[in-house]
Structures are given as structure tokens and as C-alpha cells.
Amino acid sequence: MPALRYILLILIFAMPGALPLSAQSNEAIWQSLEEGGLVILMRHALAPGIGDPPGFERGRCETQRNLSHQGRAQARALGEVFRERDIPIGAVYASRWCRALDTAVLMQLGDVEPAPWLDSFFRERSARAARTRAAREQIAAWEKSGNMLLVTHQVNISALVGRSVGSGEMVVVRPATEGLEVLGRLDVRAP
């Protein structure tokens, strides 16, 4: 029996996203966000599928994988949680993919600025280093009041913090001398 427990623990630790990124609870993260000065890395809301269909063109939503009805509702609900908790948002940036822009707009937390440095590199692996570096530079330069919300893609967040995230899931970080200090995942399903 101890061997079985050991194997189960190994499997749990090996699963990306199976455990929280830090010991901070959701409530502690929410309290930190109330103070401002943090960065929220958010994967766009639910858009079923993987990658984009053949014929993808940025700027033409009909060629892309888009938010489902459930994803649109998820984005609106996420924004409502931020408003209910009175979390200050100083800036909202989103990938130029329609599913990320739509998520940010539906959250209604401020004007949304399209940001090429948040664009997916799922099909364009050669862009990974440059986009990740640019995102780190933007995060490091954040000094405004409130928090910065970045709506992007799973591959981008994984490159920044080394963990995968689900649709609509967030990782809260603070710029640090050596990159990013990860405060933890924010599970808005259990505010």
C-alpha cells in the first residue's frame, strides 16, 4: 500500500496545474490584489478546441477558434467578481486573437489594449523567446496604480511561469529582481 501512495503522489506532482503555485490562499491573493501593483496573467475564457483551424487569420474572427456561449458567460462572470471585490485595475492588455480580446472586453474592467507581445505562439514556436522577453519587460515596467490584467494564452503563461492553466484561470505575479514572483493561482470559482 505505501508503494501505491508513493506512485499516486508522483502522478499528482507530475500533472501540470494539479497543485497550487504557492501556499497563499485565494483570499490572501484577493487581499493582495486590493492593494494594487500586481500583474494578473489570465488565459482567455473557454474556447473549445486546441490551436486555431486551418486558414487562421488574425483580425478575422470567423477564421479563429472563438469563445463558446459558456466562455462568454465565464468572461462576464469573472469581471463581475473583480467588480464585486472592488479590485483596482490600472490597465488591461490582451492578445490580438479574438478569444483573448473578447474575454477582456466582456470582463468590462477598463479599456482593452491589443498587445502583440501577448499573441499566441502555439503555431509559431520560433516567436516564443521574443514574446516571452517582451512580456517580461512589460511586466517589469509596471509601476502604475491598480493591477495590470494580461489576457493571453496557455502557451504564453506557461513560458512565463512554468505552469499550464485552464480556460479563464489566472496566475497572479509581482515583478521581481529575478523575473516574476508568483503569488499563486486565482480560482474565481471559489472567491
- Global pTM reads 0.83
Residues 6+ apart with CB under 8 A from 159: 128, 131, 132
CB atoms under 10 Å from CB of 17, counted, come to 15
Looking at residue 189, its pLDDT comes to: 53
Per the CB < 8 A criterion, the answer to whether 30 and 56 are in contact is no
Looking at residue 87, its pLDDT comes to: 97
Residues of the chain with pLDDT under 50: 1-23, 190-191
All domains of the chain, ordered by start, with CATH? Answer: 21-186 (3.40.50.1240)
Query: What is the rounded CA–CA span in Å between residue 10 and residue 97?
Result: 36
Per the CB < 8 A criterion, the answer to whether 119 and 52 are in contact is no
Amino acid at 92: V
| 175's grid cell | 515583478
Looking at residue 52, its pLDDT comes to: 79
